[in-house]
Amino acid sequence: MTRSHLRVNWCSDAEPLLRFGFEQPAPGLCHVACARLAGPVAAESWRVGDDVSDTRSDTLHLRRSGGMAALHVRVDERALGIEAATQSAYRTLLSAVRESREPYILRIWNYFARINAGDGDDERYRRFCVGRARAVDAAFNSPPPAATAIGSDGEPHWLDVIALCSHRAGIALENPRQTPAWQYPRAFGPVSPGFSRAALIGAGNAQRLLVSGTASIVGHVSLHRGDISAQVDETFANLRALLDIASTRSGHVFTLDGCESLRVYVRQRDDLAATQAAVARHMPHRERVLFLRGDICRRELDIELEGVFAP
Ligand code: 3EB
């Protein structure tokens, strides 16, 4: 089997394993309903091998390439509600993945509308966490994949779960500055969110660090409420801590300079300029930074970012 060699960029030549679009839905695009505010216009391509093969059913699109697989599960939440819809999406995902040649889930993206609607334990994000926890098993949680969960602007009834899987396990990383999400205290919801802070995948120069949604959280506490610039700085402190851990664990050097792609989710469009200015103080490759409109799952936070890093 071809060795997995993931590259993320905005080239549009051959069909990649996964191609994310943030503008209009189009064939061959994994469409995310988070408006593009700034950054690359072309679709974000995740390429592994030269050839791809597709399998489709009503709820699932599975594409394979070079020993990896991308699965996109889309569930209509209208009849079910977000909790049961999430449970259904994750059951579908796990049953498709576990039997396959790419049984290791490395990274997941979750998008649904109105993520902060509802109060206390009824908040939609918390119900999503309950649905996810109900569907997954011990294997999923030991340790869980890297992930993103963002509130999109899409049609309110679609839950999109996108998973990147491999024939080979990754290494899940935690951030020493942050409480593992699965140990968040009860105050943040009836079940703690099941995700790791990053996944280290591949080997040698083909190694990649896939960083989960990362925000201005230290320990389990949200910091710098109302201060975009300080939230960006704290988030980059978290990102640098993860790059350091990845370097220690891999024996390669991971830095911001190795960034292949950075996605920054901004809650308020009006905060774009301030966010861009703050990000520019940290990032060497500004042309690889995509700014998207998205809701962060903690309402007191205004920005979150995720990225892919090469050594
Ligand atoms: C955080 O650090 C921010 O529930 O899958 C980031 C990434 C967040 C993934 C998830 C949530 C998730 O807690 C929120």
Q: What confidence category does residue 91 fall into, taking pLDDT thresholds of 50, 70 and 90?
A: very high
Q: Is residue 40 within 8 Å of residue 287, measured between CB atoms? A: yes
Q: Is the shortest distance between the CB of 196 and ligand 1 below 6 Å?
A: no
Tell me how far the alpha carbon of residue 13 lies from the centroid of ligand 1, in angstroms: 33
Residues designated catalytic:
304
Ligand 1 atom at minimal distance to the Cα of residue 188: 13
- Report the separation in Å between the CA atom of 263 and the middle of ligand 1, taken as the mean of its atom positions: 14
Percent of the chain scoring above 90 in pLDDT: 91
CB distance 90 to 136 below 8 Å = yes
Q: Could you tell me the two tokens for 250?
A: 């891999």
The pLDDT tens digits for 179-209 are: 999 999 999 999 999 999 999 999 888 999 9
Domain boundaries 7-309, corresponding CATH code: 3.30.1330.40
Q: Please tell me the distance from the alpha carbon of residue 122 to that of residue 190, in angstroms, as a whole number.
A: 10
pLDDT tens-digit map of 253-287 = 999 999 999 999 999 999 999 999 999 999 999 99
Q: How many CB atoms lie within 10 A of CB 120?
A: 8
Strand order in the sheet with 171-173: 36-38, 289-293, 259-266, 303-309, 208-214, 198-201, 171-173
Residue 77 CA to residue 167 CA, distance in Å, equals 31
What mean pLDDT is predicted for residues 209-231?
Answer: 98
* Residue 2, pLDDT above cutoff 60: no
* Mean pLDDT in residue range 134-138: 96
Q: Residue 210: CB partners within 8 Å, gap ≥ 6? A: 106, 107, 146, 164, 170, 198, 199, 200, 201, 308
Give the residue-averaged pLDDT of 99-117: 97
Name the residue at shortest CA distance from atom 11 of ligand 1.
Answer: 149
For residue 279, give both structure tokens.
């990000």
Rounded Cα gap, residues 151 and 192, in angstroms: 18
Q: Is residue 215 in contact with ligand 1, taking CB distance under 6 Å?
A: yes
Quote the pTM value: 0.97
In the three-class reduction of DSSP (H, G, I as helix; E, B as strand; rest coil), residue 222 is classed as strand
Mean pLDDT over each residue of the chain, to the nearest integer: 95
Q: Is 217 in the pocket of ligand 1 (CB under 6 A)?
A: yes
More confident residue, 99 or 217: 217
Look at 26 and 3; give whichever has higher pLDDT: 26
The set of residues, in sequence order, having a beta carbon less than 8 Å from that of 71 and lying 6+ positions away, is 60, 61, 62, 93, 96, 97, 162, 163, 165
The confidence band for 27, taking pLDDT boundaries of 50, 70 and 90, is confident
Q: How far is the CA of 134 from the centre of ligand 1 (A)?
A: 17
**Which residue is it, tokens 């080997």?**
203
Structure confidence at residue 3 as a pLDDT band (50, 70, 90): low
| Residue 108 CA, closest ligand 1 atom number | 5
- C-alpha to C-alpha distance for 250 and 237, rounded to whole angstroms: 20
Q: Domain locations in the chain?
A: 7-309
- For residue 210, the Cα-to-chain-centroid distance in whole angstroms is 8
> Hey, which bits of the chain come out as E strands?
7-9, 18-21, 30-31, 36-38, 44-47, 53-56, 60-65, 68-76, 104-113, 146-152, 158-166, 171-173, 198-201, 208-214, 217-218, 221-222, 259-266, 289-293, 303-309
> Which residue puts its alpha carbon closest to atom 13 of ligand 1?
181
> Is 1's pLDDT higher than 80?
no
